[in-house]
Amino acid sequence: MSARLLCTALAVGICCVLPAPVADADPASPVVATVDVPSRTAFSTRTLRGAGSGSANEHEPRAALSLAKLYLVDYAVRHGTDAAADRAAGERAIRFSDDAAADTLDAAYPDAVNAVAAEYGLTDTGGGYWGTSTTSTADVAGFLLAKLDGDRDSPILEWMADAAPVAADGTEQNWGTAELPGVLGTKWAWSDTGISEVASASFGTGYVVVAITIGSTDEHTEDIFACVGAAALGATDSR
């Protein structure tokens, strides 16, 4: 499904409306329409054509969960001191959501999340250890869009596109934003202890979509589907 078709589908969906893109719009400063979604879920979309949508709480810092691995791995593969080892650990952290691999990188680069947040202007993101970091759906969407816009050869995008069907801890990686038409790559996240929190972040041709839910994977997927609407969900996937 093309970026143009996705934008059109979203615009006529049940409750998620992308504003008409502005000519020569800056993807870093998108025109963002408000999305009506249950408060348990934060939701953001961004496109390279300068359009976007977001829930009222899209800038709310929430547990980053394994979405923090996107920031951690990005730092390691671009600024790390052991290219081969960092790349191997980074691949496992993204494709398999491997916590042990992320711990290895975090031990080597303990300020990686904060450094990437500063570099990309992620004002809702911070923390020390990756597993206790916080972020927002708006920040994750902005980060991934920056990759699509200026770093298309990033291995992070490659590994998201080749994510394993089952994570290192046995969790199936087949829910959330990954279920939307036209998605090319996804990073999933979930809590191991305490209240159930789940997240997913995906990209397609020229767009990204991110959601974080305090709830189950079923509730997470349900909220995403309701937000995007019947038009996008019924569109033909042309991957």
- Judged by DSSP in three states, 197 sits in strand
**How many structural domains comprise the chain?**
1
Mean pLDDT calculated for residue range 53-63 = 96
The whole-chain average pLDDT of the chain stands at: 86
Kindly state whether residue 44 falls inside one of the protein's structural domains: yes
Q: Label residue 29 by pLDDT band (50, 70, 90).
A: low
Kindly state whether residue 188 falls inside one of the protein's structural domains: yes
Measured CA distances, 226 to 9, 36, 122, 179 (Å): 13, 9, 27, 12
Kindly state whether residue 28 falls inside one of the protein's structural domains: yes
Q: Pick the closest to residue 75 from 113, 47, 107, 43 (CA basis).
A: 113
Q: Model-level pTM?
A: 0.86
pLDDT of residue 227: 80
Kindly state whether residue 77 falls inside one of the protein's structural domains: no
Mean pLDDT calculated for residue range 151-171 = 97
Alpha helices for 80-204 (secondary structure H): 83-95, 99-108, 112-120, 137-150, 155-161
Kindly state whether residue 29 falls inside one of the protein's structural domains: yes
Kindly state whether residue 88 falls inside one of the protein's structural domains: no
Kindly state whether residue 91 falls inside one of the protein's structural domains: no
Q: Label residue 192 by pLDDT band (50, 70, 90).
A: confident
Burial 27-54 (b: 16+ CB within 10 A, else e): beebbbbebebeeebbbbbbbbbbbbbb
Helix axes 99-108, 83-95, angle to 10 degrees: 140
- The range of the structural domain enclosing residue 44 comes to 3-63+133-233
Sign of CA dihedral 105, 208, 152, 178: positive
Determine how many CB atoms are found less than 10 A away from the CB of residue 25. 17
Kindly state whether residue 185 falls inside one of the protein's structural domains: yes
